[in-house]
Structure 1
């Protein structure tokens, strides 16, 4: 079965909201047995609308992390979760960038010391560094730093 467009899901959601509003109105104006059948009919319409909404929305590729749902359940703003997540990712990226730069520096120093200590390995070291976009003597790193 082909996925339903988002507009169809929006329409089903509006139907559910409309049914809830009609049930609220029917309960507010409840006059006893005379309006009981009307209320029962509206509740059946609501269950049908909810079933249709569930069927049509299951084909949408939308997934929410459980953490966001927990935030909302706790009465917190999901934008705060997003901001905190972005900040955590930035911190992690900065940490990993620092490690990467430290290893690149170590690689370059090690290559220079190997060439000084074992000059006959210079071509092998040069070939390895070129594969990593670094050159002995004038160190050029992958990110363009010298």
Structure 2
């Protein structure tokens, strides 16, 4: 897995399965199933490696001379599983934002990244909505003022706009049927 550049972080979620399904859904449904299967295999390999690491911990914490052979066997199985994981991971095209990796390195929950991205999107959405509402109010105010000064021109403008909207709607409906 290669980390994505920091500027690519805004669109990526912290969930690896979500990132894999969004990446694979762009290239078709056949590769989507393949990507999900690859991700499942990598996840299974990670779980196996964690199990082996737990067994190693138990073996090392109660180490004595008789546990040397099981320790070596578990070390060999860990190396084999890590090699398998590396090979399986080559088939997964998942990009993880650097911010997520930095959070993990700092011992923090990567879900914080997702929460921060969502909160940022909400804030930007509210700002954009405020601007849109302000422009709507300005347009309404200008039309009211223009209507008092140029009533005939405003009426012609509204007729043109209604005709244009009806034509756009008709074109959208005819394209929807095709």
Which TM-score band applies after superposition, normalised by the shorter structure? 0.5 to 0.7
How does 1:13-28 map onto structure 2 within 5 Å?
13-24=46-57, 25=59
The structure with more helix, counted as a fraction of residues: 2
- 1:57-77 C-alpha deviation (Å, 9 max, x unpaired): 344464433222222322333
TM-score by length of structure 1 reads 0.61
The CA RMSD over aligned residues, in Å, is: 3.7
Q: 2:63 aligns with which of 29, 34, 37?
A: 29
Contact 1:3 1:60 in 2 (8 A): yes
Q: Which runs of 5+ in 2 are unaligned?
A: 1-30, 166-178
Greater RCO (Cα-Cα under 8 Å, separation 6 or more): 2
**Alignment partner of 2:82 out of 50, 72, 77:** 50
Paired residues for 1:53-92 under 5 Å: 53-60=85-92, 62-92=94-124
CA 1:125–1:66 in structure 2 vs 1: closer, same or farther (change >3 Å)?
same
**TM-score, normalised to structure 2's length?**
0.53
Count of aligned pairs between the two proteins: 130
Unaligned runs of 5+ in 1: 133-146
